[in-house]
Amino acid sequence: MDRICGERAVLDVSGLPNVAFGHKNVTWLANVLYMTIEGTMFALVIASYFYLRTRSTDWPPGNSPPYIWFGVANSILFLLSVLPARWIQKKAPSGDRAAVTIGLFILAIFASACIALRVYEFTTLNCRWSDNAYASCIWTLIGVHSGHLVTEWIETLVIFGVSLTDKMEGTRLADAAINSDYWYFVVVSGFIVNFIIYATPRFL
Partner 1 sequence: MSSHSVLISEPKVIPTSDSASRLARTWRQPSGFWGWFSNVHHTAIGTRYMVTAFIFFLLGGVLAAVMRLQLTRPENNVLGPDAYNQFFTVHGSTMIFLFAVPMMFQGFGVYLVPLVCGTRNIAFPRLAAFSYYLFLGGGLLLWIGLLTNTGADAGWFSYVPLAGPAFTPGKRADFWAQMITFTEVSALGTAICIAVTILRHRAPGMTLNRMPILLWEKLVISFMVIFAMPAVMVVSSMLLLDRLVSTQFFNPAVGGDALLYQHLFWFFGHPEVYIIFLPGTAIVSSLVPVFTRRHIFGYTLIVLSVVATGFLGFGVWVHHMFATGIPQMSASFFTAASLVIVIPTAVQFFCWIATVWNGRIQPKLPMLWLFGFFFVFLIGGLSGVMLASVPVDWQVHDTFFVVAHFHYVLIGGAVFPMFAGLYFWIPKITGRMMNSTLGHWHFWLFFIGFNLTFFTMHFLGLRGMPRRIYTYSPDMHWNALNVVATSGVAFMTAAILVFLANFFYSKKYGELAGDNPWAAGSLEWATASPPPHYNFLDLPTVNGREALWDAEPDQAIVVGLRDDVPEVLVTNSLDSDPEHKEETVGPSIWPFLTSITVSATFVGSIFTAWAIPYGAPFVVITLIGWLWPRGHSPMTREEAIEEYSHG
Partner 2 sequence: MRLYVQLGIVIALALILFACEREQRIFRNPPPAEQTLNTIQVSGLNPGANPIATPVPPNTYEESAYAVAEGQKLFDQYNCSGCHFHGGGGIGPPLMDNNWIYGSEPGNIFATIMQGRPNGMPSFRNRIPESQAWEIVGYVRSLSGLLPKDVSPGRSDDISAYPSPQSMTKQTPIGVTGNPEQPK
Please identify, among the stretches 51-59, 100-108, 114-122, 195-203, the one whose residues bind partner 1 according to the rule CB under 8 A: 51-59
- Amino acid symbol at 68: I
DSSP 101: H
If the CB atoms of residues 126 and 140 are measured against partner 1, the closer one turns out to be 140
Sequence-distant (6+) residues with CB within 8 A of 108 are 153, 156, 157, 160
- Assess 185 for contact with partner 1 (CB under 8 A): no
Q: Are 173 and 165 in contact (CB under 8 A)?
A: no
**Given 73, 99, 115, 158, the residue binding partner 1 (CB under 8 A):** 158
Cβ 143 to partner 1, closest distance in Å?
A: 9
Cβ 50 to partner 2, closest distance in Å?
A: 23
Q: Are 163 and 176 in contact (CB under 8 A)?
A: yes
**Residue closest to 200 by CA, chosen among 42, 187, 140, 192:** 192
Backbone angles phi, psi at 3, to 5 degrees: -115, 125
Helix residue spans in 55-170 (DSSP H): 69-91, 97-123, 133-163
User: How many Å apart are CA 184 and CA 9, to the nearest integer?
Assistant: 45
- Assess 57 for contact with partner 2 (CB under 8 A): no
**Given 22, 64, 94, 169, the residue binding partner 1 (CB under 8 A):** 169
User: How many Å apart are CA 133 and CA 149, to the nearest integer?
Assistant: 24
**Residue closest to 190 by CA, chosen among 72, 56, 98, 92:** 72
Sequence-distant (6+) residues with CB within 8 A of 77 are 110, 113, 114, 117
**Given 106, 114, 162, 196, the residue binding partner 1 (CB under 8 A):** 162
- Assess 202 for contact with partner 2 (CB under 8 A): no
Cβ 31 to partner 2, closest distance in Å?
A: 35
Q: Per-residue contact track with partner 2, 121 to 140, x per CB under 8 A?
A: -------x-xx---------
**Given 112, 126, 171, 200, the residue binding partner 1 (CB under 8 A):** 171
- Residues at the interface with partner 2 (CB under 8 A): 128, 130-131
- Residues at the interface with partner 1 (CB under 8 A): 1, 3, 8-20, 24, 26, 29-30, 33-34, 36-38, 40-41, 44-45, 48, 51-52, 55-56, 61, 129-137, 139-140, 154, 158, 162, 167, 169-172
